[in-house]
């Protein structure tokens, strides 16, 4: 678990530095205790605490003071931009060289919500991702926005152009008669420009499946706008909180996870981090989970132009409840 990883990093004599961005902390956060322990063990610990996290302002202020008292280098982000990223980077000395290990997530580093929310988290030593993350933390340490990022998709600078490029690639392939599709899962879809882009993809013949738990301002199933777009919403025991993007990419699928929804605040006014899944096995696992969710005919509801929100029916006679089926799959 992420919790045990930080506990181990705190006492590992080869770990030199830990950098982390936190948005919502648990009331008695064991993650914070691990960071304090690491600082006491002589490691450099950088912790960005977002003091403007809605409903958690007081809790985060309390923790930031405690961290500072214990010798942690507390960062407060970039002026005018909330830091909503869920990222951590561990620097470790191996064979007299610095090695980096990253933890990137769609959900908060919070033990309480981790028991209630459904999210995706990856641990990686992939130098393409850790190299970009070094740049992100370096910029945050200077209260600036990261630039020259190659593999991650980082708001507010990169997200809109990077996502447009991925969608434009599907549009180009559809117009060339190639297979083209997107599957996008998120909490909310409200950004007008992004919705217009999805309508444009629809009109080019791109097949689009959306899994939107909350607010969806796109209207599916409208001729000339969105007849190739299907939208479902899954509300079940655990809060669906992961954000997943799947792009056909001419048959060589691209899968991204991200902390951002398609809302203007996430794309243009926050520091968010999206990350590609390069590992083939992990990519298949995420894709399988998405397929299970698209097959849900028990808790999924159809979002349509009539706002009837009727339960989603599939061709299968077998009842499928995504959260239980995913548990059994894993």
> Which parts of 164-224 are beta strand (E)?
181-186, 207-212
Q: Which residue has the tokens 């079940």?
A: 236
Nearest-CA neighbor of 88 among 22, 153, 42?
22
Nearest-CA neighbor of 112 among 54, 47, 28, 238?
28
| 8 Å CB contact between 233 and 300 | yes
Nearest-CA neighbor of 117 among 292, 244, 241?
241
Question: How many angstroms separate the CA atoms of 152 and 128, rounded?
Answer: 9
For the annotated catalytic residues, the residue numbers are 84
Question: How many angstroms separate the CA atoms of 258 and 243, rounded?
Answer: 5
Backbone angles phi, psi at 55, to 5 degrees: 75, -10
Q: Quick one: how far is CA 180 from the chain centroid? A: 23
| 8 Å CB contact between 90 and 14 | no
Classify the phi-psi angles of 80: left when phi > 0, otherwise alpha if psi is within -120 to 50, otherwise beta: left
| 8 Å CB contact between 155 and 267 | yes
Question: How many angstroms separate the CA atoms of 32 and 35, rounded?
Answer: 5
| 8 Å CB contact between 7 and 29 | no
DSSP state of 310: P
Q: How many residues does the chain have?
A: 330
């Amino acid at each position: 678990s992420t919790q045990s990883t930080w506990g181990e990093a705190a006492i590992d004599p080869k770990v030199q530095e830990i950098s982390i961005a936190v948005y919502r902390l648990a009331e008695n956060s064991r993650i914070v205790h691990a960071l304090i322990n690491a600082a006491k063990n002589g490691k450099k610990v950088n912790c960005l605490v977002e003091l403007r996290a809605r409903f958690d302002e007081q809790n985060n202020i309390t923790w930031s003071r405690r961290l500072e008292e214990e010798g942690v280098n507390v960062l407060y982000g970039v002026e005018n931009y909330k830091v909503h990223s869920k990222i951590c980077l561990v620097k470790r000395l191996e064979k007299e060289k610095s090695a980096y290990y990253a933890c990137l997530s769609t959900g908060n580093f919070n033990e309480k919500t981790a028991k209630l929310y459904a999210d995706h988290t990856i641990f990686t030593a992939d130098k393409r991702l850790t190299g970009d993350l070094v740049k992100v933390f370096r910029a945050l340490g200077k209260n600036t926005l990261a630039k020259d990022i190659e593999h991650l998709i980082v708001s507010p600078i990169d997200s809109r152009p990077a996502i447009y490029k991925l969608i434009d690639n599907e549009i180009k392939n559809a117009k060339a008669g190639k297979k083209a599709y997107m599957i996008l899962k998120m909490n909310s879809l409200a950004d007008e420009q992004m919705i217009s882009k999805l309508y444009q993809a629809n009109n080019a013949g791109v097949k689009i499946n959306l899994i939107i738990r909350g607010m969806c301002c796109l209207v599916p199933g409208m001729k000339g706008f969105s007849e190739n777009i299907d939208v479902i919403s899954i509300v079940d025991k655990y809060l669906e909180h992961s954000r997943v993007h799947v792009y056909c990419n001419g048959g060589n699928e691209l899968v991204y996870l991200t902390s951002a929804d398609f809302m203007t605040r996430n794309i243009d006014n926050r520091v968010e981090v999206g990350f590609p899944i390069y590992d083939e096995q992990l990519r298949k696992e995420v894709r399988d989970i998405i397929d299970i969710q698209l097959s849900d005919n028990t808790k999924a509801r159809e979002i349509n132009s009539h706002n009837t929100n009727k339960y989603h029916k599939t061709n299968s006679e077998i009842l499928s409840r995504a959260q239980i089926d995913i548990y059994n799959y894993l």
